[in-house]
Amino acid sequence: MSMNNQTRTDQSHSGKHQSAALRAGVAAPDFTLKSTPDQTVTLTDFRGRPVVLVFYPADWSPVCGDQLALYNELMPEFSEFMAQVIGISVDGIWCHLAFSKDRKFHTPLLADFEPKGAVARLYGVYDEKNGEAERALFVIDSEGVIRWSYVSPVGINPGADGILKALASMAERNQRIDISESKAAQSAEES
């Protein structure tokens, strides 16, 4: 899918630069990144369930640590929607492993390390000036389509309200579709 102005969104960040983050309705670009020195994670492996991609600037920074700790605490809520949360930054895998172990995170942290920021670039959230990912969130549905995205100013923890609202909206939509399909099947049987 080509990325043009219709499939990207511009959001101001502290008036310093514009983000070109992919927006809702766009197919989420697939990727494979390392989660450990000998294991990789591929986005399409999660087809059939929602995924929350959490791009963040750097391990060990105060805001990033607080943001990921919040999502770690909210794992039961994310689990209600069968959602997989995945953190992504340009830090190397060894840095991620130390950070995750120290903070007791229960979600994979993926290394968008080499080529540096390649996946962040695919999603339109790589900050060329600082050489790191922007603080960006993407909620992807079970079919691989972005249903919600948000780019937060780098120094502000975006919290989880937007993510949880997007997941709830997707669940309601799926329930309506299931009811419609059930009624259609029932009508077909009666005919």
The catalytic site residues sit at: 64
34-to-89, 107, 164 alpha-carbon distances in Å: 11, 13, 27
| Non-local CB neighbours of 50 within 8 Å, separated by 6+ positions | 81, 82, 83, 84, 139, 140, 141, 142, 167, 170
